[in-house]
C-alpha cells in the first residue's frame, strides 16, 4: 500500500543502472513501476525488475529512448501516473516535460521553465551573473563564426574554453591557448554542437587551470524552499567527462563550502527550482575563488555519494516532491557523516579509454560494509555500441577519507568483469597515485596519470 | 600493404578519405562512433588508399576491414 501523498505509479524513461536505481526506490515505497526499453536492452536487469516493461523501439536512441511520443504512449497504455527521466536522454528536454504534463502525467523533475532557463549555457551564465553569482569572463551572446571567436578571445584573454551552448557530457568542448588553436576548436565545437544538440550556438569562457570541478546538490521543496545537501568533487575527468567523484571535496574548506552552498541555493531560487538538481562550479586553485559553470536540472550520475554521507534517498525525495508531498527528513538533521567515493566503471580499455563493447562473460560485484554498487548489467548481457559506456558505479563510504580510499582499493580488486575491457585497472592506479591520495589534485590529474 | 581494421563494434560516422587518394601517416581515414564517442581511424604509414571497404552509416564489427593502403 502506498503512503498517502505519494504518487502511485511511475514510468522510468531511461535504461541501465539509473533505470534500475530508480526502480529500486519505487519498489521500496510500494510505487508500481514501468520500464521502457529498446530492442538492444531486452536482456538487461532493469527490464525484468520493473513491474511492467514496454518495448519502445530499435536500438538507436532517436528511435527509442529519445522518442517522446513512444514514451508518452507507453505511460498512457500502462496507466503510469508519473515519468522519471533519469539523467541524459530526455531528462533536460523542456519540450518533453511540457508534453508529459500536457498528457496529464506528473513530471518527476523541475518545472519545464527551469529546465529551459538553465539548458542554454549562455542564458544560464547571464542569469546567474545578474543574480550575483560569480561567473568567469566570457561571451554573453552566441558566437557565430571563427573571426568573432578570435575577437571575443582577445577581450577575454587566453586560454579560453570553447563550448556548445546547448551541450553536455563534454562533447564538443576544448580549450585553446591561441588564435590558430581557437579557430580549430571553434569549428570542431560547432560541428559537434549541430550534430549532437541540434544547435550551433557556441560560447567562449576564460579557461581556469589548475582548477577543481566542485558541484553542489540542491533540493527544491514543494514549499519553494531550496536546500543544499553538500558538495561533490568531480575533478577526476577524461575527455571532460567524470570518472571518479568524492564528497566532501578535499580542496574545499568550511568558508569556501559556505559560500558555494549559498550560491547554489540562490541559483535554485532564481529559477524556481523543484526537486533534485546540481549546480556546478569551478574552483580556481591559485586564488581559491569559484565561478558558476552550469546547472544540471535532473538527478546526477554521482548522486549516490551524497546519499551515502547524508543517509537521504534522493530519488525518494524526487518522487515525494513531484507528488507535492513533504520530504522524508528534517532539514535541521542533515549533517553529512564520513567520506564517500564513487568510481565509474566504464566498458573501455584502461589506458587509452577507447570503447569496448562486447558480451559480459563474468560479473562479480564486491560487497561488504560501506560498499554500494549501482550496476546496469549482469553476466550474459551484451554491451552494445549504441549507448554510453557506463557499466556500474562502485561507491564506498567510510568514517574518514583514508579509510574510504582503502575500502575502495579492496573493492576494485574484488570487482570481476570479463568479456569486455573495463577501466577498473585505471581506478586501481588512481587510488594508488600520490596526487589523488594527497587530495591536492585538479581537473588535469588523469592526463598526468595517463600521459 | 597495410590493412586497416576496426578495433571495436562501431557505426561509421564519417568517411574522410576516398579510393585512389594519397595519404600520409597519421591522416584520418574514417571516423567511427561507438558508445557516444567519436574514434578517428588513422593511416599508420603513407601510401595510396587502394580499397575503402566502408560507407557512412555502416556498422562494423571488431576486425572488419576498413581500408587497404599500399
Range of the structural domain that residue A266 is part of = 211-449
Q: pLDDT tens-digit profile of A70-101?
A: 999 999 999 999 999 999 999 999 999 999 99
Choose one of A151, A179, A206: the last residue of a domain.
Answer: A206
Contact A387 B10 (CB under 8 A): no
Interchain contact A385–B (C-beta under 8 A): yes
Can you give the CATH number for the domain in which A66 is found? 3.40.50.20
Whether A217 contacts A303, CB under 8 Å? yes
In a domain, A264, yes or no: yes
Can you give the CATH number for the domain in which B41 is found? 2.40.50.100
Residues A273 and A286 in one domain: yes
In a domain, A397, yes or no: yes
Residues A338 and A195 in one domain: no
Closest partner residue to B8 among A357, A387, A388, by Cβ? A357
Rounded distance, CA A297 to CA A358, Å? 32
Q: Which of A234, A281, A245, A244 is nearest to A261 (CA)?
A: A281
Residues A215 and A191 in one domain: no
Residues A141 and A216 in one domain: no
Residues A200 and A217 in one domain: no
Residues A284 and A365 in one domain: yes
**Alpha-carbon torsion, ordered A93, A97, A102, A104, to 10 deg:** 150
Q: Which of A241, A382, A352, A347 is nearest to A302 (CA)?
A: A241
CB pairs under 8 A between A and B: 37
In a domain, A278, yes or no: yes
Asked casually if ipTM beats, i.e. exceeds, 0.85, the reply is no
Q: pLDDT band at A226, cuts 50/70/90?
A: very high
Kindly list the residues of chain B whose beta carbon comes within 8 Å of any beta carbon in chain A.
7-11, 33-37, 39
3-state secondary structure of A37: strand
Residues A172 and A48 in one domain: no
Look up residue A44 and give its three cell numbers: 538487461
Mean pLDDT of A153-161: 96
In a domain, A131, yes or no: no
Give catalytic residues of A, as residue numbers.
298
Contact A355 B11 (CB under 8 A): no
Q: pLDDT band at A41, cuts 50/70/90?
A: very high
Interchain contact A59–B (C-beta under 8 A): no
pLDDT of residue A197: 82
Q: pLDDT tens-digit profile of A247-280?
A: 999 999 999 999 999 999 999 999 999 999 999 9
Q: Which of A189, A184, A169 is nearest to A240 (CA)?
A: A169
Residues A142 and A229 in one domain: no
In a domain, A3, yes or no: no
Please say if the pLDDT value at position A1 is more than 60: no
Choose one of A206, A237, A267: the last residue of a domain.
Answer: A206
Residues A408 and A304 in one domain: yes
Rounded distance, CA A58 to CA A64, Å? 6
Within 10 angstroms of residue B2's Cβ, the number of other Cβ atoms is 12
Range of the structural domain that residue B20 is part of = 2-69
Rounded distance, CA A188 to CA A182, Å? 10
More confident residue, B26 or A198: B26
Can you give the CATH number for the domain in which A381 is found? 3.30.470.20
Mean pLDDT of A11-36: 98
Q: pLDDT tens-digit profile of B24-65?
A: 999 999 999 999 888 899 999 999 999 999 999 899 998 999
Q: Please give the tally of structural domains in chain B.
A: 1
More confident residue, A2 or A172: A172
Interchain contact A58–B (C-beta under 8 A): no
pLDDT of residue A4: 63
Q: Please give the tally of structural domains in chain A.
A: 3
The overall pTM is greater than 0.90: yes
Residues A242 and A324 in one domain: yes
pLDDT of residue A32: 98
| Separation in Å, CA of B22 to nearest CA in chain A | 23
Amino acid at each position: 500500500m502506498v503512503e498517502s501523498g505519494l504518487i502511485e505509479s511511475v514510468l522510468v524513461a531511461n535504461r541501465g543502472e539509473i533505470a534500475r536505481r530508480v526502480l529500486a526506490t519505487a519498489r521500496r515505497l510500494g510505487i508500481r513501476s514501468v520500464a521502457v526499453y529498446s530492442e538492444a536492452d531486452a536482456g538487461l536487469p532493469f527490464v525484468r525488475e520493473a513491474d511492467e516493461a514496454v518495448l519502445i523501439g530499435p536500438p538507436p536512441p532517436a528511435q527509442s529512448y529519445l522518442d517522446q511520443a513512444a514514451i508518452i504512449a507507453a505511460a498512457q497504455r500502462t496507466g503510469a501516473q508519473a515519468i522519471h527521466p533519469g539523467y541524459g536522454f530526455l531528462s533536460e528536454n523542456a519540450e518533453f516535460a511540457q508534453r508529459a504534463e500536457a498528457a496529464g502525467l506528473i513530471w518527476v523533475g523541475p518545472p519545464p521553465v527551469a529546465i529551459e532557463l538553465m539548458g542554454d549555457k549562455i542564458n544560464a551564465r547571464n542569469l546567474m551573473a545578474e543574480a550575483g553569482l560569480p561567473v568567469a569572463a566570457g561571451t554573453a551572446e552566441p558566437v557565430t563564426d571563427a573571426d568573432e571567436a578570435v575577437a571575443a578571445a582577445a577581450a577575454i584573454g587566453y586560454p579560453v574554453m570553447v563550448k556548445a551552448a546547448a551541450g553536455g557530457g563534454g562533447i564538443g568542448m576544448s580549450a585553446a591557448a591561441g588564435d590558430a588553436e581557437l579557430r580549430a576548436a571553434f569549428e570542431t565545437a560547432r560541428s559537434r554542437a549541430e550534430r549532437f544538440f541540434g544547435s550551433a550556438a557556441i560560447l567562449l569562457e576564460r579557461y581556469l587551470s589548475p582548477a577543481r570541478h566542485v558541484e553542489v546538490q540542491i533540493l527544491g521543496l514543494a514549499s519553494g524552499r531550496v536546500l543544499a545537501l553538500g558538495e561533490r568533487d568531480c575533478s577526476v575527468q577524461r575527455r571532460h567527462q567524470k570518472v571518479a567523484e568524492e564528497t566532501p571535496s578535499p580542496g574545499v574548506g568550511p568558508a569556501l563550502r559556505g559560500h558555494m552552498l549559498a550560491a547554489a541555493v540562490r541559483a535554485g531560487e532564481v529559477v524556481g527550482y523543484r526537486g533534485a538538481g546540481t549546480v556546478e562550479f569551478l574552483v580556481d586553485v591559485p586564488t581559491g575563488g569559484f565561478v558558476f559553470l552550469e546547472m544540471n536540472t535532473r538527478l546526477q550520475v554521482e548522486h549516490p555519494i551524497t546519499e551515502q554521507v547524508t543517509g537521504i534517498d534522493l530519488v525518494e525525495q524526487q518522487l515525494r516532491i513531484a507528488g507535492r508531498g513533504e520530504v522524508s527528513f528534517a532539514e535541521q538533521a542533515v549533517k553529512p557523516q564520513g567520506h564517500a567515493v564513487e568510481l565509474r566503471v566504464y566498458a573501455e580499455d584502461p589506458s587509452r579509454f577507447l570503447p569496448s563493447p562486447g558480451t559480459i562473460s563474468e560479473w562479480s560485484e564486491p560487497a561488504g560494509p560501506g560498499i554500494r554498487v549501482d550496476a546496469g548489467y549482469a553476466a550474459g548481457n551484451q554491451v552494445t555500441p549504441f549507448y554510453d559506456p557506463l557499466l556500474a558505479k562502485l561507491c564506498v563510504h567510510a568514517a574518514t577519507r583514508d579509510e574510504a580510499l582503502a575500502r575502495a582499493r579492496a573493492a576494485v580488486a574484488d570487482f570481476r568483469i570479463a568479456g569486455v575491457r573495463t577501466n577498473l585497472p585505471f581506478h586501481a592506479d588512481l587510488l594508488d597515485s600520490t596526487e589523488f591520495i594527497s587530495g591536492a589534485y585538479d581537473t588535469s590529474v588523469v592526463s598526468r596519470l595517463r600521459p | 600493404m597495410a590493412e586497416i581494421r576496426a578495433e571495436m563494434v562501431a557505426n561509421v560516422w564519417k568517411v574522410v578519405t576516398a579510393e585512389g587518394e594519397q595519404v600520409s601517416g597519421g591522416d584520418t581515414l574514417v571516423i567511427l562512433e561507438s558508445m557516444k564517442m567519436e574514434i578517428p581511424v588513422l593511416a599508420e604509414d603513407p601510401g595510396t588508399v587502394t580499397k575503402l571497404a566502408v560507407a557512412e552509416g555502416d556498422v562494423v564489427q571488431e576486425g572488419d576491414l576498413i581500408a587497404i593502403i599500399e
